[in-house]
Amino acid sequence: MLKIQSFTFNPFQENTYILYNDQKECVIIDPGMYTASEQIQLDAFIKENQLKPIQLINTHCHIDHIFGNNYCVNKYQLELFIHKNEIPVLESGLQTAKMYGLNYDESPMATQFIDESNVIKIGNETLSIIFTPGHSPGSLSFYSQSNQFVIVGDALFFQSIGRTDLPGGDYDTLIESIQNQLMVLPNETKVYSGHGSETTIGHEKLYNPFLN
Ligand SMILES: [Zn+2]
């Protein structure tokens, strides 16, 4: 059984996720900690639950999803996993932060590149990796069939979808990703997005105005 803990961090109200198993191994996805108190909040959860971080993953590398990368890499000695199409996005972080007038503790380059041919392993739990580009060129989603949830980054939101006007974004590609990769999952699958509240595949099939 995988448990999932979410946090909402930084001026963009981004959702950071920790997935952990009964053996207390955990994977950190999209660490968005912007302030010291947000870093403490994440670290306190890890300490209180005696978790051992084993992997750091970005669904994609927009600034709000990577503010805490450097902290996690150094604090927990983790390697960073991304899709290779996100390399230019990751590299543009400093410039983007400047544009928004925000501080940015620059993320190290990823050391591991993953795509749909790989899986995420947390003990004996396996998540499949789904390639869902469109919001960003190398956006990934992570699906746990046994736990009936999918983490989708900014591809899909509660009754909405990710913006496609940022560099490397493409509307048709995003709709195709959602329809062909996400809407084929079982209706009861819980959807954890990069912003806003959780939803389900079934709910989005019925109520998402972008998918009809
Ligand atoms: Zn994004």
Per the structure, how many domains does the chain have?
1
CA of 107 to the centre of ligand 1 (A): 16
Q: pLDDT tens-digit profile of 153-202? A: 999 999 999 999 999 999 999 999 999 999 999 999 999 999 999 999 99
DSSP bridge pairs for 193: 153
CB 202, CB 162: distance < 8 Å: no
β-strand 160-161 against 190-193: which pairing, if any? Answer: unpaired
Residue ranges of E strands in the chain? 3-9, 14-20, 25-29, 52-57, 80-82, 112-113, 119-122, 125-131, 140-144, 149-153, 156-157, 160-161, 190-193, 199-200
CB 144, CB 186: distance < 8 Å: no
β-strand 112-113 against 156-157: which pairing, if any? Answer: unpaired
Q: pLDDT tens-digit profile of 91-130? A: 999 999 999 999 999 999 999 999 999 999 999 999 999 9
Q: What is the mean pLDDT of residues 128-136?
A: 98
Q: Give me 69's structure tokens.
A: 């990368």
CA of 41 to the centre of ligand 1 (A): 22
Half-sphere exposure of 43 (CA within 13 A, CB side): 14
Q: Give me 188's structure tokens.
A: 């009861």
User: Biggest alpha carbon distance in the chain?
Assistant: 45
Q: Which of 72, 64, 70, 89 is nearest to 13 (CA)?
A: 64
What is d(CA 70, CA 84) in angstroms, rounded to the nearest whole number?
18
CA of 95 to the centre of ligand 1 (A): 16
Q: How far is CA 11 from the centre of its chain?
A: 17
Angle in degrees, 0-180, between the axes of helices 36-48 and 69-76, rounded to the nearest 10 = 40
Task: Name residues whose C-beta falls within 8 Å of residue 70's C-beta, 6 or more positions apart in sequence.
Answer: 105, 106, 107, 108
Task: Name residues whose C-beta falls within 8 Å of residue 9's C-beta, 6 or more positions apart in sequence.
Answer: 15, 16, 31, 32, 33, 34, 38, 67, 68
Confidence class of residue 212 from pLDDT cuts 50, 70 and 90?
confident
110, 113, 119, 120 alpha-carbon torsion, rounded to 10°? 0
The pLDDT of residue 134: 98
- Res. 11: pLDDT tops 90: yes
CA of 147 to the centre of ligand 1 (A): 25
Q: pLDDT tens-digit profile of 12-34? A: 999 999 999 999 999 999 999 99
Domain containing residue 179: CATH number: 3.60.15.10
CA of 185 to the centre of ligand 1 (A): 22
Q: Which domain holds residue 189?
A: 3-211
CA of 50 to the centre of ligand 1 (A): 30
